[in-house]
Amino acid sequence: MEVVITALGPDNVGLADPIIHHVTGRGARIAEIQMYDHDEAHLFAMICRIDIPTAEYEPLVDAMRQIGDHTRLAIRVWSSQRRPGRKPRLAICGTFVEHTPRAMLEAIADGTIDGEAAVLISNRKKLAGLAAEFDVPYRMIGNEQGAADDAKMVQALDDFDVDYVVLARYMRVLPPSTCWQFAGGRIVNLHHGLLPGFPGFRPYHDAYAARMLTFGATCHFIIPELDAGNQTINQRTFSVSPGTPIDDIIARGERENEPECLVEGVRRVIDREVDLHFHRVVARTTKRSD
């Protein structure tokens, strides 16, 4: 059983030691370990991916809870195999654009994505009706200006026992603290441009200004460290004729290309066709069997 352990908290000496000593004492095989000390923020962060027998999972969860209490670390233990025979639970996050979260909810409903919509999260009120339409719980985590309360987001993810976080045109940057707590390939993002060529908040306009005739979207894993490499899961493009207005290009991208790109990317993750290992996307040799 593959298990991901993440730890986050105030920086101090020897924080990783009790975690590593415990998992190795249980005979676990460590497949990946990364630790970061952010001196300026006095923050310690860690991810450890291990393999253990399935029967060891619940005792490990309990042990990590005790270590977290002792070290003041927020420790999370998670496995995509933790609920045999049950579908993974997805948090779908959006802001204004409805096409992409709607496509996700439709794909879950028709079985294209073999998961469960646990909650719809937004920093705006606009998507409340979409959540009601699909009978999915809704959490609004933004203020009147749309500024997101990141602590509320983390609380919602915990409240709904989420396995994967899907940013379906969620137009806010997640802080490193949130990314670390759900590291290891649990956060999937839809960027409305082709990476690495067109990052930022206006990729359609940037590509249009560069006189591009091909536009696209990128589905990728979110990682805590920016610019750490290529985390692309899926990309999808469409071409336009010279002189096509930018508004028409954006409308087509939002309505057709982006939703299809994200749905296929999330399907690959849920079916365990791809995984994230040391910040790199790798193809798995076996798919999800539970």
Task: Give the bridge partners for 142, in sequence order.
Answer: 148
| pTM score over 0.85 | yes
Tell me the per-residue pLDDT of 22-53, one tens digit each, with 9 for 90 and over.
999 989 999 999 988 765 667 889 999 999 99
Task: Give the per-residue pLDDT at 35.
Answer: 87
Confidence of residue 176 (pLDDT cuts 50, 70, 90): confident
Structural domain spans, the chain: 2-78, 89-283
Mean per-residue pLDDT over the chain, rounded = 92
Rounded to the nearest 10°, the torsion over CA 21, 27, 28, 29 is 110
Question: Which region holds residue 185: left if phi is over 0, alpha if psi is between -120 and 50, else beta?
Answer: left
Instruction: Indicate if the pLDDT at residue 217 is higher than 80.
Output: yes
Superfamily of domain 89-283: Formyl transferase, N-terminal domain (3.40.50.170)
User: Per the structure block, which two tokens stand in for 256?
Assistant: 């057709």
Task: Give the per-residue pLDDT at 40.
Answer: 62
Confidence of residue 156 (pLDDT cuts 50, 70, 90): very high
Confidence of residue 284 (pLDDT cuts 50, 70, 90): confident
Q: Check if the beta carbon of residue 7 is closer than 8 Å to that of residue 60.
A: no
Task: Give the per-residue pLDDT at 227.
Answer: 47
Strand residues in the chain grouped as ranges (E):
2-10, 29-38, 43-51, 74-78, 89-94, 116-122, 138-140, 164-167, 187-191, 214-221, 232-239, 274-277, 280-283
Tell me the per-residue pLDDT of 99-155, one tens digit each, with 9 for 90 and over.
999 999 999 999 999 999 999 999 999 999 999 999 999 999 999 889 999 999 999
Confidence of residue 290 (pLDDT cuts 50, 70, 90): very low
In sequence order, which ranges of 6-71 are alpha helices (DSSP H)? Answer: 16-25, 57-71
How far, rounded to the nearest angstrom, does the alpha carbon of residue 207 sit from its chain's CA centroid?
Answer: 26
Q: What is the CATH number of domain 2-78?
A: 3.30.70.260
Confidence of residue 226 (pLDDT cuts 50, 70, 90): low
Tell me the per-residue pLDDT of 194-209, one tens digit each, with 9 for 90 and over.
999 999 899 999 999 9
User: Which H or E run includes 209?
Assistant: helix 203-209
Q: Measured between alpha carbons, how far is 24 from 122 in angstroms, rounded to an integer?
A: 40
